[in-house]
Structures are given as C-alpha cells and as structure tokens.
Structure 1
C-alpha cells in the first residue's frame, strides 16, 4: 500500500495586510497583530497544509530580510522573518512593501487629520512646534522609497527568499484595493478628492513595483493581482473588503483601512484556486 503524499508546507511573510490586525482571533504573539483568520491561515486550513506564519504588522521589506523589528507598544523584537523560513517550503506568500513607501501610514494620517478631532490636534501640534523645538531634538525619520527603489528592494527580497527556499513557489500577493472611483470624499473616507487621487497613485506605484519584481522572476514567482480583483470592493461599495476609517475603531484596535474578514476570505479563495491548479497532487 503506497503512502499518502506529504502535506504542503506553506509559509506566510509580510506586514499587516498579510497578518490581519483587528480580525479575531488574534494569535500569539499578540504584539505581531496577527489573526488566526488571516488569508494564510484560511488557505492552509483549506489545503490541510502545514503553516508557518511569520507575518508581523508594521513590517518593512528589510524586516523580512535583514533588520529586526521592534514591536509597537511592546518590548518584543522580531528577528528578520526570512530566518525562520523552512528551507523545504513548498509555497511562500508575500504581502509587503507598502510600509516602505508610506502607503497605509500616510493614508491613516491624512484621514485622521481630516476629522474634527484630528484638525484640532493638528492645530495644537503645529502651534507647539516652536516651543517643542527648544527642548526636544526632532526624531529621525526614514525616507520612503521611490517607486524605483521599491521595485529594486522588492526584487532583492524575492531573491533572498528564493535563495533560502529554492524549491518553493512564491506568490507575491498584492494589497487589497482601498480607494476607487466610487469612493466618496468626506463620506466614505474623511479626506478630499485630491488626497484620494494621491493615495490611488501610491497604490498604482505599489502595483507596478510588484509587477516588475515578479515578472522578471516568473520561473518561481507569481504575482497575484488582488488589487484589480478587489476593485469592486473598495470603500463606498456595497461589500467592502477593507475597514473604513473611524477614530473609535482605531482606538479599540479594530479594522481601519485594512483587510476585513471578507477580504481575507476572498484572497484565500483566489490563492486556493491557483494552488490547486499548480499543485494538484498535494492540494
């Protein structure tokens, strides 16, 4: 009697759009803000696969390859995610790069600043800056990457992952779309149309970087066009796959400008169809 095929080994790398902050249940370590119902967990369950979920909210591409990541509001430090990737992995998913260009962080800042509370707080901060500068040294800020720099760093990240697990097929999973033509300024999102257009352009730059990095590594890497496939589920749609912006939800640790459970389920379903076509014997 022949033995049954071994389980697929699935690895998840990335930042919050892979990890799933705000989606219950949040799993240990809680400082990673990682959900037990993010798309990697849902996918692994459907495949009956062994999952190694290394995603951490807030991660940059450097946190995946070379730089330890300090958790927010915690003393936890996460080693570069790649160091824990099993070398015999079959499938590796990657969703990251947005933090390297300030994508979601800048959008949250604009949304918060556009609320009444945010406007008042911003006025107080601006008025206090001359006084604060006397007593405080300004914190150093990392400069967001250019689109070209993002593409290069993303390619370097993919190469490093491939070197670590050379037999794995890498799925470069795009970010869910947040804004679209149907998104109404000041209704579906607090800021105006000019900022919607700006953040939509940043999203396009992120997509282009994904395409450039993946298409030149097509033998072992495949881009999953989630942004396009989610374009009918942006803020303002009947069934958005991302949470809207609300200060109350932000303070409660809810889902704010990030994938909701429906969005995670949709990504897992799209990946499941691809993997069952490409790994028919195991999936």
Structure 2
C-alpha cells in the first residue's frame, strides 16, 4: 500500500477506535506507520538539544527532522541517523564513533518497515572539509580561494568526486530496498546553505567561494536525485524551503548555523528551527 494511502487508513482507523472506546478505556490506533530514519549529520542534528542518550557518539538530536516527520504522521520512529556517516555506513559496515561502534544502518530495516527517510552523500565527497577550506576571515587577497583551489586547470575536483560517488549512492539505495521491500523510500536532499554571493560581512567566506560551495551542494543533490528517480523512489528537494534561511539569515530565521553558531548546533548544519521546517516540509510531501 502506498504510504499516502496507508496514512489515510491509519487516521481513519484511529478515529474509529476512539469513537468505539468513548466512555471506556482508550484503545491504541491500529496500523501505526513503522518509520526508520537513516543518514548523516544533516539528518541527525548534532548539538541540537536534546541529544539522544542512547547513542551519544552519533550526536543525534531528539528534535531532528525525522522526529518532526514522525510526530506529524503519527509514526513509530526508529532513528539510526549518525553524524559523520558515509553511504558505506548505511549499507556495508559498522560506523566507529567516539563512544564505540554502531551497526550498519540498514540493520534497522525489516519487511514490516513502511517508511524510510535517508539523507546521505555529503561525507562521501568530504563536503564539510571542503566547506572549512572555503572560510577566509580576511578579505581578498589575504588567504586562498577554495573555488580557485578546487578548479585548478579547469577541472572541478569536487564535481569529479560527486560523479564517482553517485553510482555508490545508487547501490546504497538498492541495499535499502532489499532490506525494506515494502517501504516507501524517501531521500531528503541538502538545503540552501548560502545565498548568491554569500555575505562576507557576516560569514567569513568570499563571494565566489560561497557560490562555489553551494554549487557543490547542488551537484550532490542533483546526482542523488537522478539515482533516486531511476529507482522509482521519492526525492524531496529542500533547497526551496530553506532558501532565504541560509547561514546569512538572522539567527531568528536561519535554518543553518554559520561558521560560528549563534545557538546550539554544529557549524554549517541545520539549526533547531531548520529541523522543524525541513521535517514539516517532508511530512507535507508524504501526505
């Protein structure tokens, strides 16, 4: 049963059960969606309160976007997202964290899983390391442009990494399908981290480097979307919903933390507000 149809059935069943139990004990809703969240720090929410004490090494927030999706859909959530995860940690191998190893994420899936969300790929191309190399606290010409460094000789090194990683992302999706044959599989992309030209007066990034970094993010999204659509899965592009809420935005509106976070969130990662917005948008796409 397609997830949207299944969700409607669950809501209707819950209403019937509540009506039948009026005046007596409250019955539990039948057919609750079994939802498993997979992915890296963009899904896990490092440093966002409150952190999950069950697996502290994953730096996973109890208020990340999977928790918002689960609450919105009334789903039973199993969240195995883990900061620093690569696609290999989804499908092939355990992941080492500072508090010990965690199992490969597909081990949380079963034939009874109804919904899977996954955000993965950025760590396969060392995107966070690239972002750090794009930070320049002083204006030009003091420092080195990451855009210039990564496109020396007219060859975009980061684009090459994305092109080489894309087939592996497809294999990861196939492994997810093999472990959750009856689930709707939803890949959530990465958002709009910085606006055109950046904001060098607020974030330590030269305009052309800010544009380059977002182009790399866009190439990851586009390559993953192609892998997703060729498998009749669902890709949720969150670039539009996060646009205008990037690292240049006022902290009261920002969906991503800046190089020096103004609140409890990892640098260049979703904020608590961002997780709420992303989760609400994903849930809306599934209704």
Render the CA deviation track for 1:142-178: whole Å, top value 9, x for unaligned.
x997222222111111110001111100111011211
Partners of 1:47 and 1:254 lie apart in 2 by 25
- Give 2:272's aligned residue: 261
Structure 2 gap ranges (5+):
1-12, 18-28, 139-143, 145-157
Per-residue deviation, 1:35? 0.2
SS in 1 for 2:107: helix
Which residue, 37, 46, 51 being the options, matches 1:21? 46
Residue 196 of structure 2 is aligned to residue 196 of structure 1: no
1:230 CA drift (Å): 1.5
1:178-221 Cα distance to aligned partner (Å, 9 max, x none): 11216212x23212123212212211210111221111112xx1
Q: Which residue of 2 aligns with 1:148?
A: 163
Return the offset for 1:272.
Answer: 1.5
Q: Over the residues paired in the alignment, what is the CA RMSD in angstroms?
A: 2.4
Task: Return the alpha-carbon distance in structure 2 between the equivalents of residues 254 and 271 of structure 1.
Answer: 21
* Structure 1 runs not aligned, ≥5 long: 117-121, 123-142, 277-283
Mapped to 2, the partners of 1:145 and 1:263 lie a distance apart of 29
SS in structure 2 of the partner of residue 256 of structure 1? coil
Task: Check 1:109–1:46 CA distance in 2 against 1; reply closer, same or farther (3 A cut).
Answer: same
**Cα distance between partner residues in 2 of 1:105 and 1:19:** 18
Of 62, 87, 97, the match for 2:121: 97
Q: Distance in 1 between matches of 2:137 and 2:109?
A: 42
1:63 to 89, 92, 105: 89
Question: Contact 2:265 / 2:271 at 8 angstroms: preserved in 1?
Answer: no
- The SS at the match of 1:233 is coil
CA–CA distance in structure 2, aligned partners of residues 87 and 108 of structure 1: 40
C-alpha offsets along residues 236-275 of structure 1, whole Å, 9 cap, x if unaligned? Answer: 23422101112xx59x974311000111111111122122
How many residue pairs end up in the alignment? 241
Is residue 265 of structure 2 the alignment partner of residue 240 of structure 1?
Answer: no
1:230 to 2:256 alignment: no
TM-score (norm 2): 0.77
Do structure 1's residue 207 and structure 2's residue 182 form an aligned pair?
Answer: no
Instruction: Specify the SS of the correspondent of 2:128.
Output: helix
Contact 2:56 2:99 in 1 (8 A): no
Show the 5 A alignment for 1:32-43.
32-43=58-69
Among 185, 190, 195, the residue aligned to 1:180 = 195
Identify if the C-alpha distance between structure 1 residues 34 and 270 changes in structure 2 by more than 3 Å, giving closer, same or farther.
Answer: same
| Distance apart, 1:91 and its partner CA | 0.5
